[in-house]
Amino acid sequence: MKNVYVYKGFERFWHWSQTTLISALLITGIEVHGSFKLFGFENVVMAHNILAWLLIALIVFAIFWHITTGEWKQYIPTTEKLIAVMRFYGYGIFRGEHHPSDKTLEAKINPLQRIAYLQLKLLIIPLQLLTGFIYFFYNELSTFTLTFLGFDITRIITLELIAISHTLCAYGLAMFIIIHVYMITTGHTVLAHVKSMITGWEELHDDHGEHKHDHHDHHHK
């Protein structure tokens, strides 16, 4: 095993900031929904809206960082070893088998994670933000008429539909977080993945991590 600097400073900041903001949005959103009373409706609505704008700002910076650093390539979907990884999490992990897709600097996330993260980043979060945006500006947007083939689409985009869609996306985010927390514990130790996302350093296999780490250092020299 070789200790390799896998996660850069902004990458770790983005991860923990996004985790904190989404968790806080879920908690405040549940109170807005009326499931419990902690901060008071007006206060929690204000907090929820502020958190949402902070998340949007973070996403903008994250998109810029991924594009300028080339890290967006980490999320390109691939079918290579996909079935093997699915089998591992469904069966092999409970038998102590070795993970079929070793982590490298060029492939920090495995094929199954790529699909899951793409669904999160390209579907769930954008839909969550879109429905939240429409909900926030519903009174202003309701004055506009949107037609398609002569049909008034705004008639079916009711406040209730937007609220339900926003809530369903929130359930999707909550489910992702629960699965993500469980997956964090599947490293070579229970807290290995947590530690690497705090320090940036992670132990990788020599035949994968060392060579690519040396190449990475040489490139930056």
Alpha-helical regions (H) of the chain = 9-32, 41-69, 82-90, 111-119, 125-136, 138-141, 159-184, 192-199, 211-220
Q: What is the C-alpha separation between 14 and 22, in angstroms, rounded?
A: 12
pLDDT of residue 150: 64
Closest CA to 33 of 54, 48, 22: 48
pLDDT of residue 146: 67
pLDDT of residue 86: 95
Q: What is the C-alpha separation between 124 and 108, in angstroms, rounded?
A: 22
Q: What is the C-alpha separation between 49 and 42, in angstroms, rounded?
A: 11
pLDDT of residue 215: 42
Give the burial string for 93-121 (b: 16+ CB within 10 Å, else e): eeeeeebbbebbbebbebbbbbbbbeebe
Which CATH architecture describes the domain 2-220?
Up-down Bundle (1.20)
Output the CA angle 148-153-154, nearest 5 degrees. 140
pLDDT of residue 207: 58
Strand partners, 71: none
Task: Delimit the domains of the chain by residue range.
Answer: 2-220
Q: What is the C-alpha separation between 11 and 13, in angstroms, rounded?
A: 6
Under DSSP, is residue 8 helix (H, G, I), strand (E, B) or coil? Answer: coil
Q: What are the pLDDT tens digits along the chain (221 aa)? A: 789 999 999 999 999 999 999 999 999 999 998 878 888 899 999 999 999 999 999 999 999 999 999 999 999 999 999 999 999 999 999 998 999 998 999 999 999 999 999 999 999 999 999 999 999 988 887 777 666 666 667 777 888 999 999 999 999 999 999 999 999 998 888 899 999 999 999 988 765 444 444 444 444 44
Beta 147-148 vs 2-5: how paired, if at all? Answer: unpaired
pLDDT of residue 149: 62
Q: Name the token pair of 105.
A: 């600097």
